[in-house]
Chain A
């Protein structure tokens, strides 16, 4: 933690960055929240412990943060994958952001460029590779899964916290707010909720880097990351692509191979 503060202080004092996006004390001792440190003397606000799990890369594409000037970001492995994916989607250029990497066991990492991030994240397993909940759902019958998701989606209050917390939902206009034609009903009823979550998952297919922010942010506890995890696994098995591991990867749905396999088109 001291190391992190010292590094942040140094970056701000030298003017290398204008803002450090990091974790600070939350409203009580059990919580941490995002802080935006803009002066070297405020760098002691930064903390880094087990409470600090939010994916802070979500703020980098926000116009308010962009307006502050060049940022440094405290990045755990999911946030590192986010940075690579944002770079692959041309939302970040090399040198746009200074990365204060925190390893899975809480050590400060020196990650000077995307190459260094790539070689570090390659060593961190992703949750979708071995999520027992995913296996449990897939073992169910189709009717049981429908009942499960119908129940889950009936709780959704359409607060769009999943969208706000997602570092890859950065479109300035979203289909869900489109009302001519209205693709998705605004009221939180089960059908519109289903459509919204299916759409969200499809728009993240081949892009989701599996940070789990969506399900962490959901106030009614819908395990939304299961949808994107399931798609991440499909993208890997069908197209042999994984999002978030490289700064110049192709988007699975805007690329193709003439011999892509499927078994349902007659």
Chain B
């Protein structure tokens, strides 16, 4: 059997992390290809439902990244996002989801190397954790016919 390749969905902001990931490429830094980056205007735009949706679509891990505090293109989007993640992360932890599967980072447009490290480390950790069985079991349940007694 081939080795497990994690699927990682990354939600990144247009102004910092997406540009940072571009810099990783133009700097010719190689990093794991397991990540699918989805560009959004701002971390403040990343609704927590998007994260649930990523898991429901089979992601094994999620990366959320945007501008450092104080650097938001829209002044305060990342501050609002930070509060949301504090609560969302503890709520997921409370229902028993392994919060190691969601990584948060501030990656600026100048931090191409940090992006590469972030992706590589996340992929390595998720590879250790294995497929997101918890969620995938529920997904499988969804496709079972409902038994009528």
* A positions within 8 Å CB-CB of B: 137-138, 142-150, 175, 183, 185, 187, 189-192, 194-195, 198-199, 201-202, 205-206, 227, 230-231, 234-235, 238-239, 252-254, 256-258, 260, 262, 264-266
Determine if B84 and A253 form an interchain contact, defined as CB atoms under 8 angstroms apart: yes
Residues B80 and A253 in contact, CB atoms below 8 Å apart? yes
**Additional 4 contacts, C-beta under 8 A, given A145-B94, A256-B80, A258-B69:** A138-B94, A143-B96, A187-B142, A189-B142
Can you name the residue of chain A whose Cβ is closest to the Cβ of B114?
A266
Number of B interface residues at 8 Å Cβ cutoff, please give it. 39
Asked if B98 CB lies within 8 Å of chain A CBs, one says: yes
Q: A199-B49, A230-B91 are in contact. Are A191 and B141 (CB under 8 A)?
A: yes
Query: Chain A's interface: helix, strand, loop or mixed, by majority?
Result: helix
Q: Report A173 CB to chain B, min CB distance, Å.
A: 15
- Does the CB pair A145–B95 fall under 8 Å? yes
Question: Closest chain A residue to B134 by CB distance?
Answer: A146
A239 near B142 (CB under 8 angstroms)?
A: no
With an 8 A cutoff between CB atoms, is B70 at the interface? yes
Query: Contacts of A195 on B, CB cut-off 8 Å?
Result: 49, 52, 56
* Interface of B (DSSP majority class): helix
Give Cα distance in the complex from A198 to B70, angstroms: 30
Are B49 and A191 in contact, with the CB atoms below 8 A? no
Cβ of B48 within 8 Å of any chain A Cβ, yes or no, is: yes
Task: Verify if B74 is at the interface (C-beta below 8 Å from A).
Answer: no
B53: Cβ under 8 A from any A Cβ: yes
Residue of A nearest to B140 (CB): A191
Cα of A198 to Cα of B103 in the assembled complex, Å: 19
A204 smallest CB distance to B (angstroms): 11
Closest to B93 in A: A142
Chain B residues with CB under 8 Å of A146's CB are 95-97, 134
